Amino acid sequence: MRNKWIITGALWIAVVFLTFYNASEIKRLKQESEKIESLRMDEEFWQQNSNNISFILAEGKRLSLEVESVDLGFLLIDNRLKTISSEYHLNNLKITKQQATNEGSDIPVELSFDGSYEDIFKWLQSVKNEMPFLRAKSLKITIDPVSNIAVLNGAFIFRYKITSANS
């Protein structure tokens, strides 16, 4: 009788051990299956959105001007703004670079000029299209009712990214 209880006890211990082993294996396989499913969904997302992602990356790159120095970038902006202003017959262009408020990659730039309202609007559209790294922060346009000349005073943010000369 005693040997039967030992055999029965050993069988129950083996059953309990195998049950815990099977439960741990099922848990491990479930985790691996979830990882595989997650990776499959990630791959599917990248395949479906690769065109959008590349467009967003290219657009993000356009929003900051890559320059070797801040002064060189400001000189480029100054020259381009003067060219655009002369194309639209705008007068008295004044461009002032402010001190950077933080260690970031933004510099406040203040502009003022005068001309016709239509030319100012065309100028704004041209700057928006050609210089997406120069964003308007605040604009004030006043029109003299007698001479019909509009004056724009604006605060802009110049976004830049410093690159090395060897790149």
Q: Is the pLDDT of residue 156 over 70?
A: yes
CATH number for 147? 3.30.70.60
Whether residues 43 and 81 share a domain: the answer is: no
Q: What are the pLDDT digits (tens) for 38-66?
A: 999 999 998 888 888 888 888 888 888 88
Co-location of 152 and 72 in the same domain = yes
156 within domain boundaries: yes
Q: Pull the structure tokens for residue 104.
A: 């970031």
- Whether 76 and 69 have beta carbons less than 8 Å apart is answered as no
Final residue of a structural domain among 29, 62, 95: 62
Report the pLDDT value the prediction gives residue 124, as an integer from 0 to 100.
Answer: 93
Q: Which residue range is the domain that position 28 belongs to? A: 1-62
| Cα 46 versus chain centre, distance | 18
Give residue 61's pLDDT. 82
Q: pLDDT by residue (tens digit) across 68-113?
A: 888 888 899 999 999 999 999 999 999 998 876 656 678 899 999 9
Residue 57 included in any domain: yes
69 lies in the same domain as 9: no
On whether both 51 and 79 belong to a single domain, the answer is no
The percent of residues in the chain predicted with pLDDT above 70, rounded, is 95
**Where residue 167 falls among pLDDT bands split at 50, 70, 90?**
very low
Coil, helix or strand at residue 138: strand
Residue 166 has pLDDT above 60, yes or no: no
Q: Assess if residue 167 is contained within a domain.
A: no
Q: What is the largest CA-CA distance in the chain?
A: 120
**Considering 62, 86, 110, which residue would you say is the last residue of a domain?**
62
Q: Which of 19, 36, 62 is the last residue of a domain?
A: 62
**Residue 71, number of CB atoms within 10 A of its CB:** 10
Give yes or no: residues 70 and 150 share one domain.
Answer: yes
Tell me the C-alpha distance between 140 and 154, whole Å: 6
Q: Is residue 157 part of a domain?
A: yes
Q: What is the CA radius of gyration of the chain?
A: 33
Contacts of residue 106, Cβ cutoff 8 Å, sequence gap at least 6 = 100, 157, 158, 159, 160
Instruction: Determine, yes or no, domain membership for 119.
Output: yes
Shared domain for 73 and 3, answered yes or no, is no
CA–CA distance, 154 with 125 (Å, rounded to integer): 14
- Count of domains observed in the chain: 2
Q: Which amino acid is at 132?
A: P
d(CA 18, CA 72): 73
Q: Euclidean distance between the first and final Cα of the chain, in Å?
A: 87
